[in-house]
Amino acid sequence: MRKIIAILLLVPLMLMGIGFDPNDKNKIEILRHFDIPASFLRDPSLHDVYSQKKRDTSLQGFDDTSENANLLLPMLSSLIAQSDLPNEFLYVVLAESQLEVDSTSSHGAAGLWQFMETTGKLQGLQVNQYVDERRDHIKSTRAAIAYLSSLKKQFGKWYLALIAYNCGDGRLTRAIQKAGTTDLNVLADPKRAYIPHESRNYIRTVVALAFLGSEDPYLSQFTSTQEAVENPIATVYLPKGEKIDRIAAVLEMPKTKLISLNTHLKKGVTPPNAQSYPVYIPKEKLEAFQQKFQPKDIQGYFIMHRVKSGETLDQLSKRYNVPKNSIMMENMIGDNEDRNLNRRVKIPITKPFLKNPRLYTAKSGETLASVAALYNTTIEQLKLKNPFASNVLKEGEEIKVAD
């Protein structure tokens, strides 16, 4: 069926002939935003790319580009509108990744803006065992904006900045020197091949998508200069070791949806080497987050409790001096599930809720330093109370922590 539709779409294009209307004011204006002369409308390869993209979007639709388009497109539009980039640079992302949040090229480029690791790090994006900020939708967008702006300052034209973004500033510099001009009609000439084939196709693809986007009611709202689009993604800062799964439960939203907004977190948790780290949630969930989220002061300190018949969360809260909400979030328990739970429940024991017993029983692998941190004291103070204790504690060893 799709093949039939494609053939039907081809017929009117063939009847219209090759090329654009040289007086099309809308397309001339879009070219102007890229610093491209109106004469580029006569480029036959540009029309070929446009025709192919038009067939593709007629079959699939722009708004079906990504499951997250309704969040990502307004976010991108909002950040671009705050910069010196033309609004049409939104289509750079469509050319790079088609808004696929897990997109990775065969060369190793990643994220919405398809940064290589070396280039990403040069733009201030972290890539390590915990995070890959090339996949951080907001940080990578800001990095791409800064990078493209710097390329514009270097080469003087937006279309040259785009070509350099694709093939590198050194490659473009050599091409300009060889061609003796920055004229796009010369640089993009396939017969002369001053710039790589991929880059020639790239600049035409971005322009063609901008043409098509201006004709699409859904996309044109994001490139219109009449009214700024609000960013529907909110940034919240979470402590180290916080799990995306737990945040999804707090917000009562699908885990997969939240993960797709935070693909930069490789392990699904905030990195342990940062006191706080940005995580993205839908702005519509921000009030719920502010009301319900309770951070865990110490990660990994908990006990397991076997719930007895008829035992309630209120009783557990009083017994262990831990807020009911903390137990609910740790175990993803709802208000209607607090009776007759015939299972083990994890009780988070964090600094504010410790009862400060006089003696602490060491667990396997614990040290005086870890116990000191747990009780907000120092190793020296513990040694005064426990003169015969070694720095490495034995499992079951009792340590005096209070007078």
Q: What's the 3-state SS for 283-304?
A: HHHHHHHHHHCCCCCCCCCEEE
pLDDT value for 61: 55
Measured distance CA(59)–CA(7) in Å, rounded: 11
- Both tokens assigned to 69: 């388009």
- Both tokens assigned to 331: 């175990």
Measured distance CA(112)–CA(143) in Å, rounded: 11
- DSSP per residue, 340-403: S--SEEEEE--GGG----SEEEPPTT-BHHHHHHHTT--HHHHHHH-TT--SBPPTT-EEE---
Q: What angle do CA 286, 74, 62 make, to 5 degrees?
A: 130
Segment 220-265, tens digit of pLDDT: 888 876 567 889 999 999 888 888 988 999 999 999 999 999 999 9
- Is residue 260 within 8 A of residue 108, CB to CB? The reply is no
Largest CA distance in the chain: 95
Alpha carbons within 13 A on the beta-carbon side of 386 = 23
Segment 166-219, tens digit of pLDDT: 999 999 999 999 999 999 999 999 999 999 999 999 999 999 999 999 998 888
Q: How far is CA 77 from the centre of its chain?
A: 15
Segment 70-94, tens digit of pLDDT: 899 999 999 999 999 999 999 999 9
- Both tokens assigned to 30: 């879009």
Whole-number average pLDDT of the chain:
83
pLDDT value for 397: 84
pLDDT value for 335: 61
**Given pLDDT bands bounded at 50, 70 and 90, which one contains residue 275?**
confident
pLDDT value for 45: 94
Instruction: Report in angstroms the alpha-carbon separations of 66 from 212, 266, 279.
Output: 17, 21, 21
**Given pLDDT bands bounded at 50, 70 and 90, which one contains residue 299?**
low
Q: Report the DSSP beta bridge partners of residue 243.
A: 269
Write the CB contacts of 292 (distance below 8 Å, at least 6 apart in sequence): 250, 251, 325, 329
Ordered domains of the chain (ranges, CATH): 2-223 (1.10.530.10), 233-292 (3.10.350), 302-353 (3.10.350.10), 359-400 (3.10.350.10)
**Given pLDDT bands bounded at 50, 70 and 90, which one contains residue 64?**
very low
pLDDT value for 372: 78
Measured distance CA(172)–CA(156) in Å, rounded: 13
Q: In the predicted model, what is the mean pLDDT of residues 375-390? A: 80
Active site residue 96: yes
Write the CB contacts of 24 (distance below 8 Å, at least 6 apart in sequence): 41
Instruction: State percent of the chain over pLDDT 90.
Output: 49
Catalytic residue among 29, 67, 88, 96: 96
- Is residue 313 within 8 A of residue 333, CB to CB? The reply is yes
**What are phi and psi for residue 360, nearest 5 degrees?**
-120, 130
